Amino acid sequence: MKIQTPLQTSSVSSSASASSRTLLAAAALAVLALAGCASGGNPNGDTTPSSTANNSPGAVPVGNVASNGGNVVTQTGKTVSDLGTTIGTASLPIVGGTATQKDLGATITSAGNTVQTLGGGISNGLGKIGSTPDPVGTTVQSSGAVVHSTGVTLVNAGQTVSDLGAAGSPLAPLNPITSPVGSGVSALGQVAQGAGGLVTIGTSSGPVQQVTQQLSNAIVPLSSQVAGAGQQVGAATMLGAPLAGALNTVGGALQSGGAQVGAAGGNALTRDVGGLVGAVGSTVASAGGLVNGGGSGSTNPLAPITNALGGGIGGTAGGSNPLAPITSALSGGANPLAPITNALGGVTNVAGGSGSNPLSPLTGALSAH
C-alpha 351/C-alpha 348 separation (Å) is 9
Do 148 and 288 lie in one domain? The reply is no
In a domain, 25, yes or no: no
Which residue, 266, 281, 299, sits at the end of a domain?
Answer: 299
Mean pLDDT throughout 33-43?
A: 37
Q: Is residue 232 part of a domain?
A: yes
The rounded mean pLDDT for the chain is 77
Indicate if 221 and 251 belong to the same structural domain.
Answer: no
Quick one: 99 and 233 in the same domain? yes
- What pLDDT, on the 0 to 100 scale, is given for residue 160? 95
What span, in angstroms and rounded, lies between the C-alpha atoms of 282 and 247?
10
Find the domain containing 285 and state its range. Answer: 238-299
Number of H helices, E strands in the chain: 13, 0
Span 253-272, average pLDDT: 94
Residue where a domain terminates, one of 213, 237, 261: 237
Mean pLDDT value of segment 34-51: 40
For residues 110 and 194, membership in a common domain is answered with yes
DSSP category for residue 239: -
Distance separating alpha carbons of residues 261 and 252, to the nearest angstrom: 14
pLDDT of residue 82: 96
pLDDT tens, residue by residue, 264-277: 988 999 999 999 99
Number of domains within the chain? 3
Same-domain check for residues 153 and 207:
yes
User: What average pLDDT does this structure show over 214-243?
Assistant: 96
Query: 3-state class of 8 per DSSP?
Result: helix
Cβ proximity of 63 and 223 under 8 Å: yes
pLDDT (tens digit, 9 = 90+) per residue, 304-358? 433 434 444 334 444 444 444 434 444 444 444 444 344 434 444 444 444 445 4
Q: Where are the beta strands (DSSP E) in 158-231?
A: none
Is there a single domain that holds both residue 192 and residue 74?
yes
**In which band, very low, low, confident or very high, does the pLDDT at 180 lie, cut at 50, 70 and 90?**
very high
Predicted confidence (pLDDT) per residue in 78-119, tens digit: 999 999 999 998 888 877 778 889 999 999 999 999 999 999
Rounded distance, CA 33 to CA 43, Å?
Answer: 6
Q: How far is CA 214 from CA 48, 53, 137, 142, 157, in A?
A: 12, 12, 10, 18, 39
**Statement to judge: residues 176 and 316 lie in one domain:** no
The pTM for the full model equals 0.68
The dihedral of CA 298, 302, 304, 309: what is its sign?
A: negative
Q: Are residues 324 and 243 in the same domain?
A: no
Do 204 and 261 lie in a common domain? no
CB neighbour class for 126 (10 Å; exposed up to 12, middle 13-18, buried from 19): buried
Q: Tell me which residue of 355, 269, 238 sits closest to 82, measured CA to CA.
A: 269
65 and 127 housed in the same domain: yes
Asked if 282 and 134 sit in the same domain, the reply is: no
pLDDT tier, 201 (very low <50, low <70, confident <90, very high otherwise): very high
